[in-house]
Amino acid sequence: MNLPLLEMRPPSTLRAQLLEDVEILITGSQLQCGLEKRGLESGGSNPTSSDSYSDRASARARREAREARLATLTSRVEEDSNRDYKKLYESALSENQKLKTKLQEAQLELADIKSKLEKMAQQKQEKTSDRSSMLEMEKREKRALERKMSEMEEEMKVLTELKSDNQRLKDENGALIRVISKLSK
């Protein structure tokens, strides 16, 4: 007797196969009952009655073998499906745990990166504000220096005018002294 190899099939396919095998058994047993009735109706003294008896015995043996095979197949399918579901559940559970762990690690890393990013943004803002305050101070100093420079330039102009006036006055004074000395002689 050849038993079909159990393949990994979905439970719905296995149920359909089992139902098909059960229908074959029912049909076979109905045919067997029909043959037995015919044999009884035609009288049991036929020379073929011994043949029908052996046919009935072999049919009964086949039916019992088929029923045993179906029972084994059903129990195997149930065990395999239970094992498969358990294995699938366990593997899914372990996969979920791994994914949860990875998710937690990623969330921690994300929080760390966010805090670093905020610190960097704050430092950049501080540097920018420091730079802007430094630039403002430098601008004020530059304006003050420019004012001082323009004042000094004005003073230089006045000073050069005073020097030229002073030189002119010295020259005039020298000329007056000469004129007075010539007049006094």
Q: Are 25 and 64 in contact (CB under 8 A)?
A: no
DSSP 26-69: HHHHHHHHHHHHHHHHT-TTSTTHHHHHHHHHHHHHHHHHHHHH
Where along the chain do its domains lie?
A: 11-98
Distance of CA 92 to the CA centre of its chain: 18
Distance CA 63, CA 7 (A): 24
In the 8-state DSSP scheme, what is residue 4?
P
Distance CA 152, CA 166 (A): 20
Residue 3, H or E segment? none
Contacts of 46 (CB under 8 A, 6+ apart): 39, 52
Mean pLDDT over residues 138-163, rounded? 94
pLDDT category of residue 110 using cuts at 50, 70 and 90: very high
**How far is CA 40 from each of CA 31, 45, 50, 61, 62, rounded to the nearest angstrom?**
14, 10, 12, 20, 21
pLDDT at 9 over 60: no
The pLDDT of residue 97: 95
pLDDT category of residue 98 using cuts at 50, 70 and 90: very high
% of the chain residues with pLDDT over 90: 41
The pLDDT of residue 4: 47
Looking at the chain, list the stretches that DSSP marks H as alpha helix, in order from N- to C-terminal side.
11-41, 49-183
The pLDDT of residue 129: 84
Higher local confidence (pLDDT), 33 or 133: 133
Please write the tens of the pLDDT for every residue from 26-58.
Answer: 666 555 555 555 554 454 444 455 567 778 888
Q: Are 84 and 11 in contact (CB under 8 A)?
A: no
pLDDT at 3 over 50: no
Helices 49-183, 11-41: inter-axial angle, 10-degree rounding: 170
The pLDDT of residue 111: 96
Higher local confidence (pLDDT), 4 or 155: 155
